[in-house]
Amino acid sequence: MASLSSSVLCGIMALLLWMPLGWLINRRLGFGRDLAAPLAPVMGWATQSAVSLALSSLTGFSTGTIFASAAIVAGLAFILPRKQTEFESNERSAAPRAGLALFAMAATVACLPAAAILPKFIDGGVILAGPIFDHAKIALIDEMLRSGVPPANPFFAADGGHGRVSYYYLWHFSAAELARLCGATGWEADIGLSWFSGFASLMTLAGFALRFSGDRLPAFLAVLFSVMGSLRPILIGIFGDEPLHAFLKHGSGLAGWLFQTSWSPHHVTAAACVLVAVFLLAELAGRPTIFGTLVIALLLAAGFESSVWVGGITLGLCGIAIAALVLRRTGAKQRVLFAITCIAAALTALLLSFPLVSAQLHEGAARGSLPITIHAAPVLGVLFPPAWRQTLDIPAYWLVLLPLEFPLIFIPGLVGLRRIVRFGHEDEQREHLGWAFTVLGFGSLGCSWLLLSTVGDNNDLGWRAILPGLFVLTIASAIAVSHWLRGLNVRRYAFAAVIVVIAFVGALPDTWHNITGNLFGHMTASARAFAESPALWAAVRSHTNAETRIANNPAYLQEVTPWPVNISWALLSDRRSCFAGNELAIAFASLPTQERLDISSLFLRVFDGTGSAEDVTRLYRDYGCRAAVVTSQDGAWNHDPFATSKFFRLVQVEEGKWRIYVAADTDATDAPQAQK
C-alpha cells in the first residue's frame, strides 16, 4: 500500500530536481522576477523530462540518465549563445515578486488533488477516492521501473509478448524517475508527482497573473479560483434533479483545475507547458535565440508527450493561428527569422516526440477509424426535441454550459481578457503577447466545443482541450475581479463584485463535494478485501518474474472505485496482465471494438466460473497468460477451470482467500511447489 512518507519524499525530490533547473533556464532566457520563480517548476520539469526520455530510450533508463539529462539542459543554457532580450533589459524595478506566501498557498492547495490518490485507512480496511480510477495508469509507471523505456504494454499484448504502448506517457515516465531516485513504488511516485503537477500549474497561473497585472492580488485569486466548482449542485438543490436534467444534459464532463488535476494531472501539466510555450513564442518573436528556440521545442515535446489532446491537437490548431497572428504583427525584418524559429522548434519537437507520434499513428491505423470527428458538445436535455437540440446546442455551449460549469472564471474572464489584450499597448514589442493568449483561450474553448474524440466511450479530447482556455480565463478573471475589488467605491465595480460573490457562494457546494471526496474517499463493502490485496500480490510476485503475464478477474474488487476497473492489479501487482479489463484496454490496447469486447467476455466468464476448458486454453495459447490468480470473491473459486487445465499447475493456496497457478511448463526453480 502506498506510504505517505514515501509520497512526500517523491514530492520533495521533484522540487529539488526541477525547481533549480527551471529557475536557471528562466533567468538565462531573461525572465524577470515576476516570472522566473513561478514558472520554474513547469519549465524544469518539461525540459529535463523531454531530454531524459529521449536519452533513456537510447542508453537505458537509470539514475545516471536522470542526472545526465538535467546536466545537459543546464549545460546548454550556458553554452548556447543568447541575445539580451527586451523583457530582460527593460525589466521593471517595480515588478512584484511572487513571495513565499504565494508559493505556500499553491503548495497547500496542490495537496487537494494529491489527496485523491492516497489510500484512506479505516478500521480493518482501505478505501479509495473516485479519481483513483484514472490512476490505474500507475501500472505503466511500475512497468517502466521494471523494463525501462520504451515500456512493454502491461495492460495487454496480442500474443502475450512485449507489446507496445501507444499512450502519451512522458508524465508517467517522470513519475518513474522520482520512484527510481527515491526507491518508491509507482503508486507513491504518482502521488508525489500529482502534487508537484498541481503546484507547478498553479504557480504558472499565478506567474502570468503577476506579469499581466503587475499586482500580487490577482496571483492569489488565480490560485483560489482554480479550486472552485460548478453551479450544478446548487441548482439541483433549488430546482430538483429531474427538472434540471430535463433542461440540461446530465453531466458535461467539463471541469476545472481541481477535478482535472485529481483525475488526469498529465493533461493539466501539458496545459501549463502550452501556456509557457505560447508566452515564449510571443516574447521572442522579434528577438529569437538559439537557446530560446530549443526551450520552445522542449516545451512542445513535453506537452505532446504528456497529452496528445492538449499538447498535440489543441496546441497544433491554436498554434497555427497564433503563429500567423504574431507573424502579421511582427516587423518585416523579423518575419523571416520568426518563421525559421517556428519551423525549427516544431521540427525539433517532432524529432524528440517521434516514437510517441509513430505509436499514435499506429494505434489509429489498428483501430480502423478516425480518432476525431466534428460534433458540437451536447448541452441541452430531453426537454428540447432532438431535431432542435443539436442546433441549439451550438450557442448553448457558450451561453449556458460554460457560465454554469465555470461561474467564477468564464464571464469575469471574458471581461479580464480585455486587460490582457491591452497588456502591451505601451510597448509595440509586447502587444502581440496579449493577443496570443486571447487566441489560445478562444481556440482552446472552440476545440472543446466542436471536436469529439472517438477512441473511447468518453470525449476525452473535449474534456482536456478546454484546459489551456480555462487557464487563460482564470488568469483574466483574477485580474478583472482584483480590479473590481480595488474599485468598490465605484458603483459599477461594486455591482460586479456582488455578482462575483454570488457566483463564489453558488460554486461552494460543488467545491466542497470535490474536496471532501478527495480527502475521505468512497466507502465500499470491499474495503477489507482491498486491504488484503498487498499480501496477495506479494505472493504472486514470489512465483513470477518481471515478464510474466498474469490472468486475474478484470472485475476483481471493481466496486472499490465508482466505475469498474481492475484497480487492485493496477496499483499493487507490479506485474503485467494478459488482459487488464475492458476499461483499460480502451486506452491501451489497439483493438477494434468488437474484438476488445469479445476478449473481455472471455476473461469475465472464466473468472465468474462459467468458462470452459477451451476458454482456459485460449488464455494460455492466445493471450500469453503464464500465471493465474483465483480469489474467494471470484465465481471460479467454487468452479475453478484452472484446477483441471493441463496448462496450469497450482503453486500456492491461501485457505479461503486465493489460489495461485503458474504455467505447467514453468521451471520448478522459478515457481515453488504448492504451498498452504
Q: Which of 72-76, 79-83, 286-290 has the highest mean predicted lDDT (pLDDT)?
A: 72-76
Residue 675 within any structural domain of the chain: no
Do the beta carbons of residue 525 and residue 247 sit within 8 Å?
A: no
Largest CA distance in the chain: 84
Across residues 445-470, what is the average pLDDT?
A: 89
Signed CA dihedral, 75, 77, 78, 80: sign only: positive
- Checking if the pLDDT of 409 tops 90, the result is yes
Residue 232 within any structural domain of the chain: yes
**How far is the C-alpha of 319 from the C-alpha of 465, rounded, in Å?**
13
Residue with cell 525501462: 148
Instruction: Choose the final residue of a domain: 518, 547, 563.
Output: 518
Q: How many helices (H) and strands (E) does the chain have?
A: 30, 9
Instruction: Mention every residue, 6+ apart, whose C-beta is less than 8 A from residue 645.
Output: 613, 616, 617, 620
Task: Give the domain CATH number at 602.
Answer: 3.40.50
Does one domain contain both 216 and 233? yes
Does one domain contain both 59 and 203? yes
Do the beta carbons of residue 640 and residue 666 sit within 8 Å?
A: no
Residue 533 within any structural domain of the chain: yes
Do the beta carbons of residue 217 and residue 352 sit within 8 Å?
A: no
Q: State pLDDT tens for residues 538-585.
A: 999 999 999 999 999 999 998 899 888 999 999 999 999 999 999 999
Rg from Cα positions in the chain: 26
Q: State pLDDT tens for residues 85-114.
A: 544 444 444 567 778 999 999 999 999 999
> How many CB atoms within 10 Å of residue 676?
6
Residue with cell 442546433: 391
**How far is the C-alpha of 339 from the C-alpha of 637, rounded, in Å?**
66
The partner residues of 151 in beta bridges, in order of sequence, read none
Flag the least confident range among 222-236, 239-253, 479-493. 479-493
Domain, as residue range, for 333: 4-518
DSSP track, 468-491: HHHHHHHHHHHHHHHHHHHTTTSH
**How far is the C-alpha of 379 from the C-alpha of 446, rounded, in Å?**
14
**How far is the C-alpha of 358 from the C-alpha of 57, rounded, in Å?**
14
Instruction: Mention every residue, 6+ apart, whose C-beta is less than 8 A from residue 471.
Output: 201, 204, 205, 271, 272, 275
**How far is the C-alpha of 620 from the C-alpha of 518, rounded, in Å?**
40
Residue 676 within any structural domain of the chain: no
The partner residues of 631 in beta bridges, in order of sequence, read 658
Q: How confident is the model at residue 629 (pLDDT cuts 50, 70, 90)?
A: very high
Residue 672 within any structural domain of the chain: no
3-state secondary structure (DSSP) of residue 372: strand
What amino acid occupies position 153? N
Extract long-range pairs of 487-496: CB within 8 Å, 24+ residues apart. Answer: 496/412, 496/415
Residue 634 within any structural domain of the chain: yes
- Domain count across the chain: 2
Extract long-range pairs of 497-500: CB within 8 Å, 24+ residues apart. Answer: 500/408, 500/412
Of all residues in the chain, the percent with pLDDT exceeding 90 is 67
Across residues 320-343, what is the average pLDDT?
A: 84
Instruction: Choose the final residue of a domain: 518, 536, 568.
Output: 518
Residue with cell 454554469: 404
Residue with cell 477489507: 528
Does one domain contain both 491 and 397? yes
Q: At what angle do helices 315-329 and 431-450 cross, to 10 degrees?
A: 150
Length of the chain measured in residues = 676
Residue 671 within any structural domain of the chain: no
Does one domain contain both 504 and 599? no
**How far is the C-alpha of 321 from the C-alpha of 311, rounded, in Å?**
15
Pairing of strands 658-663, 451-453: unpaired
Does one domain contain both 555 and 463? no
Does one domain contain both 513 and 657? no
Does one domain contain both 510 and 575? no
Pairing of strands 576-577, 549-551: parallel
Exposure of 219 by Cβ count < 10 A (0-12 exposed, 13-18 middle, 19+ buried)? buried
- Which triple of cell numbers denotes residue 452? 469529439
**How far is the C-alpha of 232 from the C-alpha of 244, rounded, in Å?**
9
Instruction: Choose the final residue of a domain: 455, 483, 518.
Output: 518
- Checking if the pLDDT of 137 tops 50, the result is yes
Q: pTM value? A: 0.94
**How far is the C-alpha of 627 from the C-alpha of 487, rounded, in Å?**
69
Q: State pLDDT tens for residues 412-440.
A: 999 899 888 876 555 555 677 888 999 99
